[in-house]
Every structure is written in structure tokens, then in C-alpha cells.
Amino acid sequence: MDDTITKLLRGVAKGDITVEDARKSLEDASLTEEEMEMAIDKGVFTEADMGSIVSAKLAPSGASYLTMFFFIWGIFWSCYWVFSLIYGLAKDWDQRQLAFHLAMSLTTLIMMGLVYLRFILPDTIIVKHAINKFIPEHQKDWKEYKV
């Protein structure tokens, strides 16, 4: 990804290169038809082989102190809300109070799941293609009567 266009785009994004300078540097750039076809064939338009991994970029490390602290915090609060819900069920608390405890426990678990998906789970895409199925034509099991 260190081609000329990417370097120019990054320079424009940082503010090191002006848009006019980037346009001037690309004015005389030209591609032949063969180079264009090679770029298209090599790029995203080619179908990946079955079972190949398209993107195996790992998500940021799940071993950071902030992530570990968040999961310890989440486990503590989800245990607190679930056990207080169980205690409230045993002591016949009001239905609103029980619903609040259930909602808080589910919210804590959802937040933990989102952090897990964002910071721990790796981004891998494995290409799987369905096999073309052949469905034979069935014989007719009935007789056609004409009236």
C-alpha cells in the first residue's frame, strides 16, 4: 500500500501536500489498456479461491489493562445485578424493581460482548462458496387423462 496515489492521499489528509499539488502531480499519469486490465484482474474483482482467508487482520490486543479492567468491572456488576434480581424474586420485590435489575444485568452483558467483539475477536473472513446443485427432472407419477 505504498504506491504513489496512497502516499499522495495520506499527505493530503495530513495537510503536508495541498490538493492542487496532488492534482498537478497526477496530471500526466496514464495507464495503458493492458495495465488497466491487469490492475482489475489483480484487484477485488477476481473471485477468491474456496477456503482462502481474505482478511486476517487481528483486532487490537485484548491483553490491555483497560480491557482487562473493563471485564473485571463487567463481571462484578453483572453478578451484582443478577444476584440482587434473584434475591428480589425470593423477597417478592415490586415488578418495576425486578425489571430494572434484569435490564441492568443485560445491559452490562451487552457492553461486555461489544468490547469483546471490538477489541479481542480477530477479523478473519474465510471465503466459502456454495457448490452448484443439480436437480434432475422428476418423472411424472400420474397419468394424464383427457376428457
Count each helix (H run) and each strand (E run) in the chain, helices first: 5, 2
Residue 11 has pLDDT above 60, yes or no: yes
pLDDT in tens, 94-123: 999 999 999 999 999 999 999 988 887 766
Question: Rounded to an integer, what distance in angstroms lies between the CA atom of residue 14 and that of residue 36?
Answer: 29
pLDDT in tens, 36-77: 666 666 655 566 666 666 655 555 566 688 888 999 999 999
54: part of which helix (H) or strand (E)?
Answer: strand 53-55
Global confidence as pTM: 0.47
How far is residue 109 from each of residues 14, 18, 76, 128, 145, measured CA to CA in Å? 39, 47, 11, 31, 66
Compare 135 and 45 and report the one with higher pLDDT: 135
